[in-house]
C-alpha cells in the first residue's frame, strides 16, 4: 500500500502594504511597499497533526514588517527585505529559510513653493508615479528543502514589472519556419511593443541598491530603444546583455516580454492607404518571450529564483 | 392587462483600441486611445422584431474609428470624439444621438541621441506614462430620448481618472456627528490620500483641448496639495473651485474621491512610538466622496453627464 | 466675475464586506454581502469650510452595517438595504437621502453526511457559487438634490451582473445599414453570447425578495435561451419583456448586454471546413447593447436609477 | 573581461481562447479553453542575431490550436494539451520541448423542453459555470535546458484554481510561537476560508482525464469540509493526502491556500454580543500556505512543475 510524505512547503503573510513617512523637518519622504514573507523549516508537525509549536504566525510576520519600518526605516526594498529575512531565520530555531518578496510603488513629489517661487520649507504632497513597479526578492538561510542550518547564504534579485515600451519602427519579422499551419506574412516594418518584466540577480548582498536600480532600468530602456530588432528574442537578449555589461554587480538577468501585438489596420476597403500609421492594439492572444542572460562566472543561484 | 414599452436605449462598439503614429520625418508621434461609441435613434423595430434596417452595425463603428484616425489624425481625444459623433448623426437619418467616450493612455518619449549627445533625427521609442488616464466624453444630437432632430447641440466633458495623490500631513478630521454606532476617534494629523476621478464640462466646443487639459490637471494637483484639509469634502470643493477659477472655458466640475485610508499602525506593543510614520494602507472598505462645483452662469448640461 | 456653487454631492462608505453566519443548531447558514452606502443632505458647510457637524462619518456607517447584521440578520439584500437606508435618514436630521447598494456573493452547501449517508446534524461547509452576482440598490428619502424632507419614498431595484450565457445557434445578423465603412458580412448562423447585467425596479417595497429574485433570474435565462435572435437588441427586449410579464411586482427592467463576439475561425488555409464548430472568443472591442422595457403604468422612478 | 551566455529560455503564444462546439444532431456540446504554448529548442541564433530560421512563429502555434480543435475535437484539456505538445516537438527538428498550459471555463446547459415538458431535441443554450477554473499543464520532450532529443517523456499535471471554500466552525488556532512581535490571540473557533489552487501530477499519460478530474475535485472538497482544523497547514495536508489516497493515478499534489481572513467584528461598543456570527472579510494582507504531498514511489517529476 502507498505511503505519502510531506513535500516542499512554505507559508507566510502575503501583501502587507506598508507606507513609511520620514520627516526631515518639514520635508517628508515616502516609501510605499507591499511585502510578502514566506518561511520554511520544521513544519512536519503542523502539517501532520496541526501542532503549531514551530509556527511563527503570519500575523506576527505582519507586525514585524510594520515594526521594522519604524525601527530601521526603509532605505531600499532590497535592504529592507534582507533585514526581515535575516531576522526570521536568525531569531527562530524552527525557521530555516525566509523568502521576502517586495513590490515598491513610486511616488513623485508635488513641489510646494513659497511666496517667491522658491521651494517651500514644507514639502509633504505626492502623486503616484505610474509606469513600472520596482521589485525585490530576497532569500536567506538553508534552501527551502534544506534540513541543516549551516548554509545561511543570502541572495538578492532586483527587478521591475509593467514597464511598457514601444518602438514605432525599426522592427522586422522574417525568415521563420513555415509549416502547414503557417499563414503569417513577413514584414520589414512593424510596431514592437512589450510590457517588460525583468529580474536581475546580484552577485553579493553588498550592492548600492539605490544607485543600482535606476541605472539598471535605464540600461533596459536604452537597449530596447536602440536595438534594430529582427525578433523579440533578439531584443530580449540585447536588454539582458546591456544590463550585465553595464552593471558589474549583476550576474544574471531574466526577462519575460509579452509581444503586445499592434496590427496595422487594413484601410483599403475605405480607399485609404495605411503606411504603418493606424494600428489595432490587441489584447489576446499574445506572444510571450522568456529568456535569460548569464555572466560566465556567475555563482550558483541556489534558491534565488524560487 | 399590462402593456410594455421600450424605454431608454443605446448601442455601440465599446473599447476600440486604436494607436495612431504620425511621422514628421524620422520623428514619430503617438496617440493611443480606447474609444467607445453609443448611438441611439429609431431603434423600435430592432428591439421589437429584430429588423436591423435602422442599425449602423457596431463593426462599422469600429471601422470608422480606424478610418478617421487615418484620414483626420488625432489632435486630441475631444476633437476626435466630436468628429466621430457628428459623423454618425449627420450621415445616418436613423441615428439621432451619439455619445463617444474616450480614454487616452499617455506615452513619454525615450530620447534618442546622436554621437554628439544631441537629439537624434530619428525618434520612435516610447515608454508608457503611468499615473492617470485622460478621458473625454462627447455628446452630439438630440437627447438620448429625443424624438426630433432639431437640437443638434454638442457637449464636451474632459477628465481624468486614477490620479493618485497623497498628503502626509495637513489633514485633520474632527467635529463630526456622534451616534450610538460612532467609535472613530478625532485626529489632528493624518495622511490624506485619494485616487482622483475628475470630469469638467466645457461651456462650448471651442476650447483649446491640448492647452486646457494639462492646465486643468495642474490646478487639481495644486489645489489638493495646498489645501489644509478638515475633511475630504473640503478638499474636493477646493479642487473643483480652483479648476473653475483658473479655466474660463470650464463651467462645471465633478469629482469622485475615494478616501484611501492609511491607518497609523499601533506600535506600542513593541515598545515603539508611531508619530505618524508607519501606516497600513487599507483597500476596503473606503470612504467615497462625490461632489460637483458649478459656475453660476453654467448653461444647461443637457445629456452631457449621461 | 464668476461665482461658483456646490452642485450634486453624496458621500459614504463603499465596499463594506460583511459575512453573516446564522446558526440553527448545528446547521449554519451564510449571507455574504458587500455594502455601499451613499448619503446626502445638509452638506454645504463641510464642503465650503470643512465643518463636519452635519457629517455622519463613513466609519460609523460601516459600524452600522456590522451592527445591523447582528441585530436584524440578513434576510435579503433588499430588506437589509431598506433597513439601513431608513435608519440613516430617520435617525439623523442632517441626512436627507440614503442610497444603499449591495452585492451578494452566493455560497452553496458542501453537504455533510452521517455514517448512514443521511444528512448530518452539523452542516457548516460551503463552496462559493460562481456565475452571477446578485445586486440590490435601495433609495430612501428626498431626492439627492432635494431640500425638503417630506418625500421619504423608498425605491428598490433588484438585479444581477456577470450572468454569462451563450447560444451556439439560432442567431442571425442581417439587413443592417450599409455605409462606406461597412465591411461585415451577413450571417444566418452565429454564436450569440453575452454577460448579462440586469436591474429590475419594483413597484413597491413589499415584494417577497427571496421568492422574486430566483424567479426573475429564471425568466431572463429562459428568454435568452428560447429567443430565435435576429439581433441582440431583440434578445434584450425579449428578456425584459419576459421578466415583466412573469413578475407583477416589477415595473421596469434595464439590461446591459455586451456582445461577446465569437468569430468562426477561417480554417480553409489548413484544408478544413469550419461549420460553426471552432470559434475565437474575442475580448475587445465588443458591441454593447443597453436598453430598458417599461410597464405602461409604471410609477415615476424618482431617484431609483441614480 | 566578462563574457555572457544565453540562459534558460522559451517562447510561445499565450492565451489563445478557443471555443469548440460539437453537434450531436440538435444537441450541442461546448468546450471553452484558453491555451498557452511555450516552446524551447535551438534558439541560440534568434537571440544572438535575430535569425528566425529555427522559430515556429507564435502565430502558427495559434493556428495549430484552432486547427486541432477542429480536426481532433477537445475530449479533455489534458488530452488536447498532449496532442499539441507532441505535434510541436515531433514535427519540428528545432523544437525540443513543449509546454502547453490550459485553463478550461465550464458551461452548464440551460435545459430546453418541448411542449410536454420533456427534454427538447434541440439543446444549444449554456450558462457559464462559476466557481473554479480547471487547469492542465503538459510537458513533452527533452527538459527545457536539454540539448538532446532522446528523452521525449510526457508529464501531465491536472488542477484547478479559484475554488473558494469556507467552514464556519471546526477551526482553531492555538499553541504557536510567541516572540516580541506576537499579538494575535488564540482562538478555539474561527471561520476558515480559502481559495484553493491545486495541481496534481499523474504518474503516466494514460489517466481517464474526464473521470479523474471531477473525482479529484470532490476529494479536495470533502477533505476540506471534513477536517477539524488546528491550522491551515493541517487542512492542506489532509486535502493532498485524501486526493492521493483516493486516486491511484496521481503521485503528487501541490496546494496553495490563501488564508482568507474573516475577523469577528467587535460589537461590544454597541451593546451586542458577537458569537462568531458577524465577520469582516478582509482582502489584504492574507496568510498564504503552500505545500505538497507526495506518494513515496512517485517517479521523478522532471520538468513537470516548471
Cβ contact, residue pair A233, D43, below 8 Å: yes
C-alpha cell at D88: 510541436
The residue of chain A nearest to residue B196, with distances taken between CA atoms, is A127
Please say if the pLDDT value at position B2 is more than 80. no
C-proximal residues of D, 219-258, CB under 8 Å? 221-222, 224-226
Ranges of H-type helices in chain B? 44-48, 58-72, 77-91, 209-226, 232-246
**Chain D residues inside the 8 Å CB shell of C130:** 128-132
Please give the interface size between A and D, counted as residue pairs whose CB atoms are below 8 Å apart: 269
Where do we find the cell 489632528? B188
For chain A, state the CA radius of gyration. 24
Q: How far is A283 from chain B, CA to nearest CA, in Å? A: 9
Which residue in chain D is spatially nearest to B184 when comparing CA positions? Answer: D269
C-beta atoms of D19 and C279 within 8 A: yes
Which chain D residues are Cβ-neighbours of B178 within 8 angstroms? Answer: none
Mean pLDDT of C205-211: 97
C296 at A interface, C-beta within 8 A:
no
| Residues of chain A found within 8 Å of residue C269, distances taken between Cβ atoms | 183
Interface test with A, best of D39, D287, D298 (most A CBs within 10 A): D287
User: Which residues of chain D lie closer than 8 angstroms to C261, CB-CB?
Assistant: none
Report CB contact under 8 Å: C225, D112.
yes
pLDDT of residue A64: 98
Q: Which residues contact B141 (CB under 8 A, 6 or more apart)?
A: B85, B89, B95, B96, B97, B98, B149, B151, B152
Residues from chain D that touch B270, judged by Cβ atoms under 8 A, are 180-181
Q: In B, which residues are within 8 Å of D283 by CB distance?
A: 283-284
Instruction: Name subunits touching C (3+ CB pairs < 8 A).
Output: A, B, D
Rounded to a whole number, what is the distance in Å from the CA of A20 to chain B's nearest CA?
5
Quick one: residue B50, left, alpha or beta (phi over 0 = left, psi -120 to 50 = alpha)? left
Per-residue model confidence as pLDDT tens digits over B144-187: 444 444 456 899 999 999 999 999 999 999 999 999 999 999 99
Window 47-106 of C: residues touching D by CB (8 A cutoff) are 63, 66-67, 69-71
Number of H helices, E strands in chain C: 5, 14
CA of C278: which chain D residue's CA is closest?
D20
Cβ distance of A125 and B18 shorter than 8 Å = no
**Cβ contacts of B232 on chain C, cutoff 8 Å:** 11
Tell me whether D188 touches chain A (CB under 8 Å). no
The alpha carbon of residue D120 is apart from the nearest alpha carbon of chain A, in Å, by 37
Nearest CB to A126 within list B66, B166, B269? B166
Q: Is D6 on the interface with A (CB under 8 A)?
A: yes
Give chain A's mean pLDDT.
95
Mean pLDDT of all residues in A10-32: 98
DSSP state letters, C39-106: EEES-HHHHHH---TTPPPHHHHHHHHHHHHHHH--S-HHHHHHHHHHHHHHH-TTEEEEEEEEEE--
Q: Phi then psi for D301, rounded to 5 degrees?
A: -75, -20
Q: In A, which residues are within 8 Å of B277 by CB distance?
A: 20-23, 69-70
Residues of D in contact with A47 (CB under 8 A): 233-234, 236-237, 291
What is the pLDDT averaged over residues C220-245? 98
Best residue in A35, A38, A57, A175 for a mutation probing chain D (most D CBs within 10 Å): A57
* Euclidean distance between CA atoms D222 and D196, whole angstroms: 13
- Could you say which of B28, B29, B34, B58 is catalytic? B58
Which residue of A lies nearest to C180 if distances are taken between CA atoms?
A: A270
Q: What are phi and psi of A45, to 5 degrees?
A: -65, -45
Residue of D nearest to A249 (CA): D2
The DSSP 8-state label assigned to residue C214 in this structure reads H
**Chains with ≥3 CB–CB distances under 8 Å to D:** A, B, C
- How many residue contacts between A and B have a Cβ separation below 8 Å? 176
* DSSP type of residue A94: T
Residues A82 and A85: their CA atoms lie apart, in Å, by 5
Task: Mark yes or no for CB contact D164/C127 under 8 Å.
Answer: yes
User: CB distance from C184 to chain B under 8 Å?
Assistant: yes
Distance from CA of C261 to the nearest CA of A (A): 13
* C-alpha span between B249 and B246 (Å, rounded): 9
- Distance from CA of residue C305 to its chain's centroid? 11
Low pLDDT (below 50) residues in chain D: 144-150
What ipTM was reported for this prediction? 0.95
- How far does D270 lie from chain B, in Å, by closest CA? 6
Specify the pLDDT at position A151: 54
- CA–CA gap between residue D249 and residue D212 (Å, rounded): 8
Tens of pLDDT along A180-215? 999 999 999 999 999 999 999 999 999 999 999 999
Instruction: Report the pLDDT value the prediction gives residue D142, as an integer from 0 to 100.
Output: 82
pLDDT in tens, B94-139: 999 999 999 999 999 999 998 898 999 999 999 998 789 999 999 9
Q: Which of D2, D5, D233 sits opposite A43 (nearest CB)?
A: D233
Q: State the average pLDDT over residues A68-83.
A: 98
Comparing CB atoms, the residue among B20, B107, B166 nearest residue A278 is B20
Cα gap C264→D20, rounded to integer Å: 10
The model's pLDDT over C128-168, given as tens digits with 9 standing for 90+, comes to: 987 899 999 999 998 544 444 445 689 999 999 999 999 99
Q: Binning pLDDT at 50, 70 and 90, where does residue A133 land?
A: very high
Contact D92 A179 (CB under 8 A): yes
Please report, rounded to a whole number, the percentage of residues in chain C having pLDDT higher than 90. Answer: 93
Arithmetic mean of pLDDT, C66-79? 98
Give pTM, 2 decimals.
0.97
Active site residues of C: 13, 58, 261
Please report residues of C whose CB lies closer than 8 A to that of B252: 7
Q: Is residue A145 over pLDDT 90?
A: no
B231/C50 CB distance under 8 A: yes
Q: Which residues contact B143 (CB under 8 A, 6 or more apart)?
A: B97, B151, B302, B303
Query: Is D270's Cβ below 8 Å from some Cβ in B?
Result: yes
What tens digit of pLDDT does each residue of B285-303 get? 999 999 999 999 999 999 9
Grid cell digits, residue D186? 488564540
Residue A261 designated active-site: yes
A178 interface with C at CB cutoff 8 Å: no
Shortest CA gap C69–chain B (Å):
13
Residue B180 forms contact with D (CB below 8 Å): yes
Substitution target in D265, D268, D269 with the highest count of C β-carbons within 10 Å is D265
As a whole-number percent, the residues of chain A with pLDDT over 90 amount to 93
Catalytic residue among B139, B202, B261, B262: B261
* pLDDT-derived band at C118, boundaries 50, 70, 90: very high
Chain A residues 104-163 with CB within 8 Å of chain B: 107, 110, 112, 124-132, 163
Q: What would the mean pLDDT of B63-81 be, rounded to a whole number? A: 98
pLDDT of residue C143: 58
* Residues D226 and C112: beta-carbon distance below 8 Å: yes
What is residue A1's DSSP assignment?
-
Amino acid at each position: 500500500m502507498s505511503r505519502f510524505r510531506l513535500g516542499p512547503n512554505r507559508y507566510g503573510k502575503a501583501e502587507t502594504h506598508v507606507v513609511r513617512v520620514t520627516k526631515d523637518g518639514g520635508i517628508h519622504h515616502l516609501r510605499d511597499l507591499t511585502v510578502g514573507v514566506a518561511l520554511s523549516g520544521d513544519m512536519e508537525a503542523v502539517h501532520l497533526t496541526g501542532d503549531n509549536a514551530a509556527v511563527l504566525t503570519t500575523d506576527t510576520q505582519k507586525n514585524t514588517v510594520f515594526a521594522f519600518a519604524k525601527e530601521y526605516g526603509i532605505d531600499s526594498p532590497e535592504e529592507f527585505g534582507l533585514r526581515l529575512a535575516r531576522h526570521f531565520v536568525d531569531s527562530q530555531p524552527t525557521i530555516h529559510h525566509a523568502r521576502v518578496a517586495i513590490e515598491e510603488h513610486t511616488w513623485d513629489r508635488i513641489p510646494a513653493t513659497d511666496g517667491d517661487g522658491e521651494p517651500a520649507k514644507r514639502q509633504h504632497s505626492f502623486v503616484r508615479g505610474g509606469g513600472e513597479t520596482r521589485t525585490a526578492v530576497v532569500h536567506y538561510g538553508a534552501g527551502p528543502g534544506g534540513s541543516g542550518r549551516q548554509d545561511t547564504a543570502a541572495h538578492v534579485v532586483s527587478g521591475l514589472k509593467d514597464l511598457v515600451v514601444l518602438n514605432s519602427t525599426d522592427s522586422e519579422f522574417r525568415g521563420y519556419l513555415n509549416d502547414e499551419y503557417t499563414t503569417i506574412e513577413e514584414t520589414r516594418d512593424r510596431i514592437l511593443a512589450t510590457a517588460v518584466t525583468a529580474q536581475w540577480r546580484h552577485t553579493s548582498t553588498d550592492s548600492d541598491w539605490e544607485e543600482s536600480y535606476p541605472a539598471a532600468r535605464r540600461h533596459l530602456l536604452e537597449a530596447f530603444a536602440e536595438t534594430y530588432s529582427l525578433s523579440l528574442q533578439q531584443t530580449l537578449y540585447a536588454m539582458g546583455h546591456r544590463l550585465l555589461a553595464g552593471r558589474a554587480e549583476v550576474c544574471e538577468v531574466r526577462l519575460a516580454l509579452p509581444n503586445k501585438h499592434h496590427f496595422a489596420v487594413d484601410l483599403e476597403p475605405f480607399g485609404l492607404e495605411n503606411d504603418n500609421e493606424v494600428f489595432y492594439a490587441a489584447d489576446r492572444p499574445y506572444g510571450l518571450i522568456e529568456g535569460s542572460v548569464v555572466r560566465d562566472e556567475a555563482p550558483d543561484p541556489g534558491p534565488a529564483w524560487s
